[in-house]
Amino acid sequence: MDTIKRRSWAEPFKIKSVEPLRMTTREEREITIREAGYNTFLLKSKDVYIDLLTDSGTNAMSDYQWAGMMLGDEAYAGSENYYNLERMVKEYYGYKYLVPTHQGRGAENLISHILIKPGQYVPGNMYFTTTRLHQELSGGTFVDVIIDEAHDAQAEHPFKGNVDLNKFEALIKRVGAEKIAYITIGATVNMAGGQPISMENLRSVYQLASKNNIKVVFDATRAMENAFFIKIRERGYEKKTIKEILLEMCSYSDAATMSGKKDLLVNIGGFLAMNDDDVFEEARNMVVVYEGLHTYGGLAGRDMEAMARGIEEACQFNHLQARIGQVEYVGNRLIELGVPIVRPIGGHAIFLDAKKFYPQLEQLKFPAQTLAAELYLDSGIRAMERGIVSAGRSKETGDHYFPKLELVRLTFPRRVYTQAHCDVTVESVYEVWKNRATVKGLKMIYEPKYLRFFQARFEKL
């Protein structure tokens, strides 16, 4: 029994090793952001103060993980660390087979190749950039079947990542089940604001899919964060452990793609996991072509060990409470100040509603891209555009996709920044909010063919 009534949580760790931060002047930032084509992806890390670009590969590892790095078995074949990882994946996620990959998109490439025949459809609960591109490169067409609330920044729904079963069923009726390669289920849903999907919905999707012989491919990248939301929001799960919830979530799928760079507290790594013998056989053959032998998949032995150890740490309730609690802290402070953000607050990031910041900017003046640049100019904080630039173009018509959401993501690396960094961030966002009226937007002057948001360049209007 916890006899001390605690008023607040705190991080369940202390800091052993520090990395100095560099602050710059506004004059310096005017130059660096112009040279970066007003794209925060093109900034040099040394010119960034607080880096909220992504929670991907930017996490702080524990002493236990670093100790594991020294135990890397760097054999080309049959590394001990592979077997450790395989054991942990089976124990925590429940899948029978494991194929390591260098990161999440490596797994997406394999599964898309294996399961999609040209002309097939791939429904999912909102797109993710790399996931959809791999589906398209394999000849598939992505179909969004997430609930409508997910496309509305202000709609309050505890499980905004849920699939609209009517949309999924309508697609099956319209094209026929045999034209559907599989359904991808993201948990949490990154592009909707880090929103969770409920267990009830996962179960129903799996039932409907199985009835129609359609496989469910789970994007487990932030599934532990999703499990935390299920524990605190869904009836019947209050007393279950994160581990139990995660296992049940994964049981409603046939395979999973994983970017270990998020939940699993590592700087690099991912995997594909599955239950099906045939899919495993194919994946084991193909991983050799794209990633490396099936017992390392593009990773060093030490990286697999760090990821195996990360699974155990990431699945702790205290860890997830501090991680999601930090994001919630920033979100609640911004809400108090009247700054428009996606509600409810998601798991890995705060999403600023750029359309509300800049109602004067039409979408082709790139409001979210503009807002990310303004934030950097104000304080050296780096965020990421998640709007029309990220959405890209339709592969059929070549036109821009015009997403309803025009967002800037402040993404929190795990175990990296303190509450004081959070306060500085809130103050800077508020400053940019106060100065919103005079902002004029951007013009795109260079557009790459694939995943354009990474390398596109802009000029101030």
- Cα(29)–Cα(266) distance, integer angstroms: 30
Q: How many helices (H) and strands (E) does the chain have?
A: 16, 12
Nearer to ligand F0G, 138 or 221 (CB): 221
Place of tokens 């902002």: 439
Do the strands 215-219 and 141-144 form a parallel or antiparallel pair, or are they unpaired?
A: unpaired
The H-or-E segment that residue 126 falls in is none
Q: Which positions from 387 to 426 touch ligand F0G by CB under 6 A, shown as an x/- string?
A: ----------------------------------------
- Cα(292)–Cα(76) distance, integer angstroms: 9
Q: Please report whether residue 261 would count as binding ligand F0G according to CB under 6 A.
A: yes
Site size toward ligand F0G, by CB under 6 A: 15
Tell me, yes or no, if 142 is annotated catalytic: no
Tell me, yes or no, if 440 is annotated catalytic: no
Tell me, yes or no, if 76 is annotated catalytic: yes
Residues written for the chain: 461
Catalytic residue among 105, 386, 415, 452: 386
Q: Are 134 and 108 in contact (CB under 8 A)?
A: yes
Angle between helical axes of 165-175 and 199-211 (0-180°, round to 10): 10
Of 97-105, 149-157, 395-403, 437-445: span binding ligand F0G (CB under 6 A): 97-105
Residue 93 Cβ, how far from ligand F0G at the closest point, in Å?
15
Of 126-134, 235-243, 246-254, 299-307: span binding ligand F0G (CB under 6 A): 126-134
- Cα(79)–Cα(91) distance, integer angstroms: 19
Query: Vertex 143, ends 140 and 147: CA angle to 5°?
Result: 155
Question: Looking only at residues 170 through 209 of this chain, which bind ligand F0G when binding is defined by CB under 6 A?
Answer: 186, 190
Question: Looking only at residues 265 through 294 of this chain, which bind ligand F0G when binding is defined by CB under 6 A?
Answer: 270
Tell me, yes or no, if 83 is annotated catalytic: no
Q: Are 273 and 236 in contact (CB under 8 A)?
A: no
Q: Please report whether residue 310 would count as binding ligand F0G according to CB under 6 A.
A: no
Q: Please report whether residue 128 would count as binding ligand F0G according to CB under 6 A.
A: yes
Q: Please report whether residue 452 would count as binding ligand F0G according to CB under 6 A.
A: no
Tell me, yes or no, if 168 is annotated catalytic: no
**Residue, CB closest to ligand F0G:** 104
Q: Please report whether residue 225 would count as binding ligand F0G according to CB under 6 A.
A: no
Tell me, yes or no, if 453 is annotated catalytic: yes
Of 68-76, 77-85, 101-109, 416-424: span binding ligand F0G (CB under 6 A): 101-109
- Cα(30)–Cα(38) distance, integer angstroms: 10
Q: Are 66 and 310 in contact (CB under 8 A)?
A: no
Cis omega (within 30 of 0) for bond into 101 = no
**Residues annotated as part of the active site:** 76, 128-129, 219, 262, 386, 453
User: Which stretches of the chain bind ligand F0G, using CB under 6 A?
Assistant: 54, 56, 103-105, 128, 130-131, 186, 190, 219, 221, 259, 261, 270
